[in-house]
Amino acid sequence: MRNIKLVLEYDGTNYHGWQIQPNLPTIQGAVEDAIRLLTNTYTQIIGAGRTDAGVHADGQVANFHTNSSISLDAIQSGINAFLPNDIVVSETVEVDTDFHARFSAISRYYRYTILNRPYPSAQLHRICYHLKSKINIEMANEICKCLIGKRDFSSFQKTGSDRMNPVCNFYKAFCYTKDDFIYFEFEADSFLRGMVRTIVGTILMCIKNPNSNFTDATTQFKNIVNGKDISLAGSSVPANGLSLVNVNYSE
């Protein structure tokens, strides 16, 4: 039995997230259908992250087990031939039998993209959130520093999550600007359901008041984190700005 690791890129606009749902289009469902058509065998795939409806990926990772002797190149080209054009396998690797895309991961890296100018984009509206009001990038970065470390992030866990342990360890959290875009980037050992979008929405809420200074904004954010209550957080930003950039594994 071979264990095949896939790296996937996808535009999540037309899908109800990663995880299979009855009678709804999902990324997992589309990839499993493609593998079944290629190998003539139903195979369940394991994803590193259960991206929500409308969320994209540059480097989602999945794995599946197969008895097929098809070469790696043929697996990649074959799956891609059966996939819709908004999902692509960018890499295939044969890995140890105990490799698990989700549980073997040591960190995940997400990026949230905001188009910060008076008018939206006709071409890029599927992959970024348009926000007219000017963002104070320095203040947002100061708030991002409050995320670093290991703590209970219940304040950013979407209602209805089945995860019992809300503790995550953040390694990186920062934002930067390039042209008319602002990028928020986060790396952690794990993420709660809806976490990144709620964090970005909360940061935007904390810096919204033009009279706020750095101390006021960071104190407000810290109080929300320490409150461990989703009702304290800001509204989640739209899904179209979020992408799973990559998943990291130990060598």
Query: Would you please indicate which residues are annotated as catalytic (active-site) residues?
Result: 52
CB contact at 8 A, 2 and 99: no
**How many CA atoms are closer than 13 Å to the CA of 165, on its beta-carbon side?**
7
Residue 20 sits at the vertex; the CA angle it makes with 156 and 111, to the nearest 5 degrees, is 40
Closest CA to 227 of 149, 170, 153: 153
C-alpha R_g of the chain: 19
Q: Letter for the amino acid at 51?
A: T
> Rounded CA gap, 5 and 3, in Å?
7
Residue with token string 């690797």: 93
Residue 96 sits at the vertex; the CA angle it makes with 94 and 102, to the nearest 5 degrees, is 90
**How many CA atoms are closer than 13 Å to the CA of 58, on its beta-carbon side?**
12
The pairing of strands 167-178 and 2-10 is unpaired
For the record, the structure tokens of 139 come out as 């203040």
